[in-house]
Amino acid sequence: MSSELRTGVPRTAVPTDRMPVLALVGLFASGFIGILTEALPAGLLPQMSHTLGQSVAVTGQTVTVYAIGTAIAVIPLAVATSSWRRRDLLIVALLAQIATNGVTASSHDIALTLGARFVAGLSSGVIWSLLGAYAARIAPYGRQGRAISIALGGIPVSLALGIPAGVLIAHVASWQTAFWASAALTVLTIVWALVTLPNLPGIPTVERHGVGHVLALRGVKTVLFVEGCFVVAHNILYTYVAKYLSDIGLGAQTGTILFAFGLASIVSILVVGATIDRHLRKLIVGASATFAIAVLVLALLSGVTVLVYIASAAWGLAFGSSATLFTTAVVVIAKDAGEVAQTLMVAVFSGSIAAGGLIGGLLLDGFGSQVLVEVCLVLVAAATITSYLAKRHAFPTDAG
């Protein structure tokens, strides 16, 4: 694969020969907010379920409906807002995150909470669809891949720092305080974005390259299948990790285990950012295999605490830059339809998160938390085998 990532979107007309670090930090922070708002309930489900008067499985659907909102909205909203200036659109989406986090923190009714989370998911779909293309447009020539890695790096960092911090805040104060803190952080992100991000014009490429065109390209469906298996497995486990850890006697260590997961996710940013242009195939196959091994350890050796920490860290290492890896894979295939490919990737990613939350809740209610790990193992094994075998079009060997 060429060292230049061809995103299929026009870059900014402003001449630059340096990486626009401050602007990329704004995109990084926006991604951080999106994943923080999405995943925050995962570490707070026992407390939230008590307040809302619902079971943990039902309360876990606060993650599911968020992801459903993102999945169903990302493509229609991308079309509807394609002519909007990019910073203006990002600010509107972040304002929606503030409002919905406030409603979630104030609500004692499950229906209202689910409604707020759904709307939050809609705004998250806008944020996700912006990050990669925005980063590519403001990056120096030939360094778009690195810029996308930075912009999407907010995802694993949020898992590393944001979610455990939310768990800590909930223990010290309340779960509602964690959501208010997220809203306050979003305000700071808006200010930063207003100061640092260029307000680029819209890019209505969605109208020129339809989803059907991208799906017809050889290799795209395989990438999306691997992505789906990978992310469904992740979210089955991550959404109900607090319950799983409680059932194996490690409930009090949920925050520190999630921190180990997230810290390894940060390491994955560094590894992927430095090697993605040369070793995309190896990184995707390696991430899938590492995730599979981690889940196997959790399935068979959960009684050994240190192995639970090691497996969680390996899981974080595998998942941390998965959004960057799958985005890059479909963009390389799609070429000048790259923005549509990114939007499609976000839809599948978010739909898989929703499916993971829903499937996980059904499995938890029907069979208990141990079966969650067993189902995850089947899914990540499928992702590993498929990615390894897809050597010609989806993950070609000449791409590294």
Q: Which residues contact 219 (CB under 8 A, 6 or more apart)?
A: 333, 390, 392, 393, 394, 395, 396
Element of type H or E holding 94? helix 86-106
297 near 311, Cβ under 8 Å? yes
CB 262 within 8 A of CB 160: yes
pLDDT for res 191? 97
pLDDT in tens, the chain (400 residues): 443 444 444 454 444 578 888 999 999 999 999 888 887 887 788 889 999 998 888 888 888 888 888 878 788 887 788 788 999 999 999 999 999 999 999 999 999 999 999 999 999 888 887 887 788 788 887 677 778 788 888 877 776 777 778 878 888 888 999 999 999 999 999 999 999 999 988 865 544 556 777 788 888 899 999 999 999 999 899 888 888 898 898 888 887 888 888 889 888 888 887 787 778 899 999 999 999 999 999 999 988 999 999 999 999 999 988 888 888 888 778 776 666 777 788 888 878 877 888 898 889 888 888 899 999 999 999 999 999 998 887 788 755 5
pLDDT one-digit tens code per residue, 189-230: 999 999 999 998 886 554 455 677 778 888 889 999 999 999
pTM, two decimal places: 0.76
Per-residue pLDDT reduced to its tens digit, 132-170: 778 878 888 767 777 878 888 887 777 677 777 887 888
Report d(CA 63, CA 60) in Å as an integer.
Answer: 6
Position 2 scores a pLDDT of 42
- As a whole number of angstroms, the distance between CA 314 and CA 337 comes to 34
Q: Provide the sign of the torsion angle of the four alpha carbons 60, 65, 68, 69, taken in this order.
A: negative
Residue 143 to residue 156: CA distance in whole angstroms: 21
Residue with tokens 């690195």, as numbered in its chain: 146
Q: Please name each of the domains of the chain with its CATH number.
A: 21-399 (1.20.1250.20)
Short-list 143, 113, 115, CA closest to 51:
113
